[in-house]
Amino acid sequence: MSSGVTPECHVAVPSNESIEQFLRSLDAEKEYFHFDPALARGTLTAAGHYAGDSLAGVAGVRRHCGFPVLYVVVRQDYQGRGIGRLLMERLHEQCRKRHRLIVLTVEKANERAVALYRSMGYATLGCGQSELYMALCFDALGGVAARLLRVLLWSSGKCR
């Protein structure tokens, strides 16, 4: 197991129902994270960090406007122990085989998440009023899709 992960913890693929239940159980974490728990039903690929039988964090991608879009959240009392990074590494291993890129939206003020994404290779596609649009490309076609998305974001006026 990786840094900060105690022996009774493990990473596994959670069902969409258990992700939804986990997201519903969060409260304080919602400061920067406005994810409708019901959207977990559309999750294509996910990795979950379990503390015993309970989920302590989830990273997943769901389909939105034809693109695989990332979400990641770690329960507040488990944050800062390397779990977010570990979950994203596991997610990327799975996504690499299934998707050409992953995209995400993050609040600029969410410095922890922005630092995590940058350090994992996500590039900024555009910058809105309060949010950043980022992408991680797994191959050349993913790069083409990211460039297309960048044009769409700029032409739609979402980016400044």
Ligand X SMILES: CC(C)(COP(=O)(O)OP(=O)(O)OC[C@H]1O[C@@H](n2cnc3c(N)ncnc32)[C@H](O)[C@@H]1OP(=O)(O)O)[C@@H](O)C(=O)NCCC(=O)NCCS
Rounded Cα gap, residues 131 and 117, in angstroms:
14
* 130 contacts ligand X (rule: CB under 6 A): no
Residue of closest CB approach to ligand X: 84
Q: Does 32 bind ligand X (CB under 6 A)?
A: yes
In whole angstroms, what is the distance from residue 49 CA to residue 40 CA? 16
> Looking at 12, 38, 109, 115, which residue binds ligand X (CB under 6 A)?
115
Binding of residue 128 to ligand X (CB under 6 A): no
Q: How far is the CB of 76 from ligand X (least distance, A)?
A: 8
Binding to ligand X in span 63-82, by CB under 6 A: 72-74, 79-82
The size of the chain, in residues, is: 160
Task: State whether the Cα torsion 138-90-103-114 is positive or negative.
Answer: negative
Q: If binding is defined by CB under 6 A, does position 12 make contact with ligand X? A: no
**Structural contact between residues 73 and 57, judged by C-beta atoms closer than 8 angstroms:** yes
Tell me how far CA of residue 50 lies from CA of 5, 53, 54, in angstroms. 10, 6, 5
| Contact footprint for ligand X (CB under 6 A) | 29, 32-33, 72-74, 79-85, 106, 110-113, 115-116, 119
